[in-house]
Amino acid sequence: MIIPVFNSQIAVYQFDQMELYGPGTSFASKVDDYFNDEVWTGHKSVESEGKTISSVGRDRLRPLKKSLDFDTNTLGKWIDNTIMQGAHDIGLNPQESFTLTRNWGNRIYQHASVRCHTHTRPGCHIVGVFYYEAPAQSADIVFVNNRTENVELSHYPESERFRVSPKPGMLICHSPWLVHGTDAHLLDQARTCFIYEGTFLNMAIRTLREPQF
């Protein structure tokens, strides 16, 4: 499903086999082991009086895709293929040679939030966010019609915000230029997602201006 968001658009998809990967499965144990690994000790950040565990920038210590068998299992292959489809659906050239260049996991706990940010690092042409755990009424992902980054969502008026409520198995693909963050997560059940950055190898390494779709 394509959803217009300000001067851009996002693509939203749903994985239909979550019963094979959700609570009580061997895959759920792999996810818990990944986030509970001692390699993240000392890297648990505190934001808005809550706790976040993130492997961003440290995935080489324990690669997410290898830890969760994403190169071989159905879920990993679906995410890879659907992000490629998402790139096509939001208007990028699907004929270019494509690779997923960076990915990591985020798990946020009660009262934690994510400051508003973009993914406009050199070589990032598309972002995919897969929601593994997203309990009902958990924190929305909020896209912002503003270029100010590294601030809480409360910085922006509600008229500049576009909310999407995640659910387990949802994948959102969007332009790296879209500023986004989350409200505080108010539930005692964790909210867990996997983030991907993708690159078209024949496109410019650094996009010098915001793309218009």
Q: What is the pLDDT of residue 39?
A: 79
Q: Give the per-residue pLDDT at 172.
A: 98
Amino acid at 90: I
128, 195 in Cβ contact below 8 A?
A: yes
pLDDT attached to residue 1 = 92
Q: What is the pLDDT of residue 46?
A: 44
pLDDT at 61: 84
Third-level CATH fold of 2-200: Jelly Rolls (2.60.120)
Residue spans of the chain under pLDDT 50: 46-49, 208, 212-213
pLDDT of 48 reads 40
Extract the tokens encoding 209. 């201006």
- Distance of alpha carbon 138 from alpha carbon 136, whole angstroms: 6
Residue 104 has what pLDDT? 93
31-76 confidence digits (pLDDT tens) = 999 998 877 765 555 444 468 888 888 888 889 999 999 999 999 9
**pTM, to two decimals:** 0.91
User: 108 near 139, Cβ under 8 Å?
Assistant: yes
Q: How far is Cα 145 from Cα 8, in angstroms, rounded to an integer?
A: 10
Tell me, what's the pLDDT at 69?
96
Domain boundary assignment for the chain: 2-200
The first and second tokens of residue 86, run together, are 């998402």
Residue 28: per-residue pLDDT: 96
pLDDT at res. 29? 95
Distance of CA 175 to the CA centre of its chain: 12
Sign of the four-CA dihedral 81, 37, 108, 30: positive
